[in-house]
Amino acid sequence: MAWRPDDPVTLPDGRLVCRPHRLVVCGYCTVDYSFMNELSDEDDVDAEASELGDHTDDIDGPLGVIGAPLPRAEPRAGTGRVSPTKFSPSNPSDTPQTLFPLRRTENATPPVYRFIRRNDETQFLIYTDGACLDNGGANPRAGCCFLYRNSTQNPKICGYTSFPLEKQGPTGIEHPQTSNRAELRAVIAAMRFRVWTGEGCRCLVIATDSEYVVEGMTKWVKGWIRNNWKTSTGASVKNKDLWECLLGEVGRWNEEGMRIQFWRTPREWNTEADQHAKVAATKSASQEFGDIHGVLV
């Protein structure tokens, strides 16, 4: 689906809304016409927070909402027919900071700041990380984080979302808390957070220090699927529910015209997401798997 600028509609009261859905703030069209309101910024935030209720208690980030009323496809189990690829910089010395500086994109309304490829405005980057306190112990607690913008432009506006790993997976079955599940869950949340194609993105690069995620999605998962989700030793693949969910997101975005790539980076290049994931792990985890949608970000 090719990206097209939104053509807003003016309501009788003077407000602007998106044409397809008649919304002032539309997650599907990735537009926000609330800047036309005469309300102060403080009043806007207070009003939105009251609508969100108690869902944001354990979520850090700009109006991250579990179960927000934004148009999103339900999570689905992928088949592996569409596979992501590894991102390999042409110069081994290149870092995410040099290749994907913070840039302003005019494809969203109002314009937003993202980590955008220096020579390709259709390629975005998101940092993800997961952490687990007492991993493998008697009381493991895991947290997830993804970073899509830093706060250079405005220190009051954070560009990350972090949350404790839910006890249940997308199929409703409860699983032990582990760092590997947190790593996978962070990527799923990042991919479902926004309608990235509405901001002009045609290739989303996931930067992570997790070999488990990068090699799993670009190499190992193909063999697992051929072996009916069994490892080479005949054991059941762990975290199958999250692998299938992530494959489903890759397939869904492919249908929308956006490719997914994974870039394994050194841990020292991903310290901010790591810190927020560890803090999230200290918070109380919700029972059910839920979506986190970005509003006004």
Q: By the 8 A CB rule, do 142 and 181 touch?
A: yes
pLDDT along the chain (297 residues), means of 10: 52 68 62 50 34 42 40 67 92 94 88 93 97 94 94 66 96 96 98 94 97 96 95 93 96 95 95 95 93 75
Other Cβ atoms closer than 10 A to 40: 9
pTM higher than 0.85 for the full model?
A: no
Q: Interior CA angle at 196 toward 275 and 173, to 5°?
A: 60
Tokens of 159: 């560009």
Residue type, 16: L
Catalogue all structural domains in the chain, each as residue range(s) with its CATH number. Answer: 9-294 (3.30.420.10)
Instruction: Quote the CA–CA distance of 166 and 285 in Å, as a whole number.
Output: 5
Instruction: Quote the CA–CA distance of 79 and 63 in Å, as a whole number.
Output: 32
Q: By the 8 A CB rule, do 89 and 11 touch?
A: no
